């Protein structure tokens, strides 16, 4: 019976796998990882070790218990002429199977405790990075360095909705990854801006909830350069699956170079904020920003989701005065999920997306919103 069902299942499965291949899932990317990664930090190694210890203990107990059970099911079946005994108590046996598991638990508690102590050892960090969860992106701030940026999903809506083939790094790519150096103890100070998110990098063994109003700490130190991908693991709304974590670990010299570049970028940006942008330049940049930061709620066609996320097409705000429109992005709308984008988007990006929203989907206001307008609004506050 069981065998037949298995054969049936396999025959069901083979066309399914063929379908998956045809659907653009390459055999190479579809690795079948079965176990927890060992990762590249002391903490991830500790988690892996305790995981394996527990798994082996459970496996051994499982084989013993189920083995005995299957023996009973085979040997003491009525069809083999088994006659039921009538015992229903045995105090010594009952005592043994209460005490022995308790002892096993005490033994397990020892490595479990030492592993947890490692996780909580966040003192004496070399570098502090503030990680803030936003709906639906991460912000990284290098404390004391004046470097701060947003890290957003780079996979396009077209790939997600099957209008374009899915790339190799589908949902595992971001606009700007977090970069940390090898050989340094990095402390992550994690918080949330709107709802609760959770910042997870499996290869670091780091998972901490990003709770608004609360800072939690985690740490990582590794000698292995590379790119490590993680996820948001606390349900945070419709973009929950679309805010991956990508961390690049670089050699120290390379890291310093990158950090210097970031500082320079910020300086250059500040000096060019007064530049006049053309109508079309703003449309192109605005569409990019819109797809990345707005389309999840307000939708690519500007129609929103009725009752949850208002339409921007023909909306009084988009068709009204420019200042009012900028105000919504800078201040957010209290009591709704429209948050303030003042810290999330640069002045140029806010100007571009306001301009785009005022001139896309038949919202033909025709005016131009310059970065300086945004700056003026911010300074006027």
Partner 1 sequence: MAHGPATLADGWGKYISRWVFTTNHKDIGTLYLWFSFAMFIMGGAFAMIIRAELFQPGMQLIKPEFFNQMTTMHGLVMVFGAIMPAFVGLANWLIPMMIGAPDMALPRMNNLSFWILPFAFAILTSTLFMEGGGPNFGWTFYAPLSTTYAPDTVNYFIFGVHIMGASSIMGSINIIATVMNMRAPGMTYMKMPLFVWTWVITAFLLVAVMPVLAGAVTMMLMDINFGTSFFDAAGGGDPVLFQHVFWFFGHPEVYIIILPAFGVVSQIIPTFSRKPLFGYSSMVYATAAIAFLSFVVWAHHMFTVGMPIAGELYFMYATMLIAVPTGVKVFNWITTMYRGSLTFETPMLFSIAFVILFTFGGFTGMMLSIAAADMQYHDTYFVVAHFHYVMVAGAVFSGTAAVYYWLPKWCGKMYNETMGKVQFWIAFIGFNITFMPQHFLGLAGMPRRYADYGLQFADWNMVSSIGAFMYGGAQILFLFNVIRTIGWGKPTDDPQVWEGAEGLEWTLPTPAPYHTFATPPEVK
For the CB of residue 5, give the shortest distance to partner 1 in the complex, in Å.
5
The window from 97-105, 265-273, 277-285, 318-326 that contacts partner 1 (CB under 8 A) reads 97-105
Minimum gap (Å) between residue 107 Cβ and partner 1: 11
User: Binding partner 1 by CB under 8 A: which of 94, 223, 257, 323?
Assistant: 94
- Show Cβ contacts of residue 367 under 8 Å, excluding neighbours closer than 6 positions: 322, 358
Measured CA to CA, the distance from residue 332 to residue 328 in angstroms comes to 5
Candidates 144-152, 211-219, 261-269, 362-370: pick the segment binding partner 1 (CB under 8 A): 211-219
Interface with partner 1 includes 29 (CB under 8 A)? yes
Residue 127 contacts partner 1 per CB under 8 A: no
Residue 216 found at the interface with partner 1 (CB under 8 A): yes
Please, which residue, 58 or 267, has the CB nearer to partner 1? 58
What is the nearest approach in angstroms of partner 1 to the Cβ of residue 37?
A: 7
> DSSP 3-state assignment of 345?
coil
Using CA atoms, how far apart are residues 187 and 339, in angstroms rounded to an integer? 27
What is the chain's alpha carbon radius of gyration, rounded to the nearest angstrom?
28
CB 295 within 8 A of CB 158: no
Q: Cβ contacts of residue 252 below 8 Å, gap of 6+?
A: 181, 182, 183, 184
- Scan residues 8-27 and list those touching partner 1 (CB under 8 A): 9, 12-13, 16-17, 20, 23, 25-26
Q: Is 101 in the site for partner 1 (CB under 8 A)?
A: yes
Binding partner 1 (rule: CB under 8 A), the pick from 144, 306, 316, 380 is 306
Count of CB atoms within 10 A of residue 336's CB?
10
- Is residue 210 within 8 Å of residue 133, measured between CB atoms? yes
* Cβ distance to partner 1 smaller for residue 196 or 259: 196
Q: Which tokens hold the place of 225? A: 């350069």
Closer to partner 1 by CB, 197 or 313: give it.
197
Q: Which residue has the tokens 């800072």?
A: 215
175 binds partner 1 (CB under 8 A): no
110 near partner 1 (CB under 8 A): no
| Contact flag: residue 207 with partner 1 (CB under 8 A) | yes
Least separation in angstroms between CB 186 and partner 1: 17
150-178 exposure pattern, b = at least 16 Cβ within 10 A, e = fewer: bbbbbbebebeeeeeebeeeebbbbeebb
């Amino acid at each position: 019976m069981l065998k037949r069902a298995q054969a049936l299942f396999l025959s069901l499965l083979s066309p399914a796998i063929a379908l998956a291949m045809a659907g653009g899932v390459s055999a190479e990317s579809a690795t079948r990882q079965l176990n927890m990664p060992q990762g590249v930090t002391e903490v991830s190694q500790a988690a892996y070790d305790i995981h394996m210890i527990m798994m082996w203990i459970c496996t051994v107990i499982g084989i013993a218990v189920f083995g005995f059970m299957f023996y009973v099911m085979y040997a003491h079946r009525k069809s083999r002429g088994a006659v039921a005994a009538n015992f229903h108590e045995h105090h010594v046996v009952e005592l043994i199977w209460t005490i022995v598991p308790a002892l096993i638990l005490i033994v397990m508690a020892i490595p479990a405790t030492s592993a947890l102590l490692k996780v909580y050892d966040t003192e004496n960090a070399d570098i502090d990075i503030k990680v803030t969860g936003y709906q639906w992106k991460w912000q990284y701030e290098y404390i004391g360095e004046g470097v701060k940026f947003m890290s957003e999903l780079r996979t396009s809506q077209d790939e997600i909705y099957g209008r374009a083939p899915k790339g190799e790094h589908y949902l595992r790519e971001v606009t700007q990854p977090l970069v940390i150096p090898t050989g340094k103890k990095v402390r992550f100070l994690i918080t949330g801006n709107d709802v609760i998110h959770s910042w997870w990098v499996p290869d670091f063994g780091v998972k901490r909830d990003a709770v608004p109003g609360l800072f939690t700490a985690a740490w990582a130190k590794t000698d292995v350069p590379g790119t490590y991908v993680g996820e948001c693991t606390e349900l945070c709304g419709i973009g929950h699956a679309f805010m991956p974590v990508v961390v690049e670990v670089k050699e120290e010299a390379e890291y310093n170079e990158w950090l210097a570049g970031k500082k320079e970028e910020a300086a250059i940006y500040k000096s060019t904020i007064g530049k006049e942008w053309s109508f079309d330049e703003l449309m192109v940049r605005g569409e990019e920003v819109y797809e990345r930061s707005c389309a999840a709620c307000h939708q690519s066609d500007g129609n929103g989701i009725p009752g949850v996320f208002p339409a921007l097409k023909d909306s009084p705000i988009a068709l009204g005065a420019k200042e009012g429109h900028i105000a919504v992005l800078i201040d957010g709308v209290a009591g709704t999920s429209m948050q303030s984008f003042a810290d999330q988007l640069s002045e140029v990006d806010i100007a571009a997306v306001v301009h785009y929203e005022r001139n896309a989907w038949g919202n033909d206001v025709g005016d131009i919103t310059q970065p300086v307008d945004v700056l003026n609004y911010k300074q006027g506050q």
